[in-house]
Structure 1
Amino acid sequence: MITIQDIRNAQENIQDTINATPILQSGQLSQLCRNQVFFKCEHLQKTGSFKIRGATNKVKQVVMEGAKLVTAASSGNHGQAVSFIAQQLGVPATIVVPTDVNPCKMNAIDAYDGNIVKCGTTSAERIPRAIEIAAEQNGLFIPPYDDPYIMAGQGTTGLEILEQVQDVDAVIVPIGGGGLISGILTAIKETNPNIKVYGVEPETANDTFLSFQNGRITSITPTSTIADGLRATQPGDMTFPVMQKYLDDLVLVTDEEIRRAFSVVMERMKQIIEPSSAVTVAALMNKKLPLEGKKVVTVISGGNVDLARISELMIGTERIY
Structure 2
Amino acid sequence: MTTPMSVPSLHDIRAARTRLGTRVVTTPVRELVDDAVAARLAPHTRVWLKEELFQRTGSFKPRGALTVMLDLTADELARGVTGVSAGNHAISLGYCARELGTTATVVMPRTANPYRIALCKELGATVELVDTVHDAFTRVHEIVATQGRTFVHPYEGPRTALGTATVGLEFVEQLQHEDAPLDAVIVAAGGGGLTGGVACAVKQLSPHTAVYVVEPEGADTMYRSFAAGSPQSIDKVRTIADSLGAPRCEPYSYALNRQFVDDVVLVTDDQIRDAMRLTFRAAKLVTEPAGSAALAALLYPLRDQLAGKTVGLVVCGGNIDATTFGTLIATPPTAGA
Say yes or no: TM over 0.5: yes
Deviation at 1:230, TM superposition (A): 0.8
Asked if the contact 1:30–1:37 (Cα under 8 Å) also holds between the matched residues in 2, the reply is: no
- Residues 19, 192 of structure 1: alpha-carbon distance in 2 compared, 3 angstrom cutoff: same
Task: Provide runs of 4+ in structure 1 moved above 6 Å.
Answer: none
Asked if the contact 1:59–1:82 (Cα under 8 Å) also holds between the matched residues in 2, the reply is: no
User: Mapping of 1:147-296 within 5 angstroms?
Assistant: 147-166=157-176, 167-288=181-302, 290-296=305-311
Paired residue for 2:325? 310
5+ residue gaps, structure 2: 1-5
Q: Which moved more, 1:254-263 or 1:11-20?
A: 11-20
Counterparts of 2:151 and 2:307, CA distance in 1 = 43
Paired residue for 1:3? 8
- Residues 160, 65 of structure 1: alpha-carbon distance in 2 compared, 3 angstrom cutoff: farther
Paired residue for 1:109? 120
Query: Which letter does structure 2 place at the counterpart of 1:126?
Result: A
CA deviation vs aligned residue, 1:154-202 (integer Å, no higher than 9, x gap): 1100000111123111100001100001101111112222110000000
Paired residue for 1:25? 31
CA deviation vs aligned residue, 1:51-80 (integer Å, no higher than 9, x gap): 011111111211556431111111110111
Q: Which moved more, 1:286-295 or 1:234-243?
A: 286-295
Q: Which moved more, 1:284-293 or 1:61-70?
A: 61-70
Deviation at 1:244, TM superposition (A): 1.1
5+ residue gaps, structure 1: none
Counterparts of 1:266 and 1:63, CA distance in 2 = 43
TM-score (norm 1): 0.94
CA deviation vs aligned residue, 1:221-246 (integer Å, no higher than 9, x gap): 11221101111122121100111111
Deviation at 1:30, TM superposition (A): 4.3
Paired residue for 2:51? 41
Counterparts of 2:308 and 2:75, CA distance in 1 = 49
Asked if the contact 1:71–1:131 (Cα under 8 Å) also holds between the matched residues in 2, the reply is: no
User: Mapping of 1:20-169 within 5 angstroms?
Assistant: 20-28=26-34, 29-34=37-42, 35-64=45-74, 66-68=76-78, 69-122=80-133, 124-166=134-176, 167-169=181-183
CA deviation vs aligned residue, 1:36-57 (integer Å, no higher than 9, x gap): 0011001111000000111111
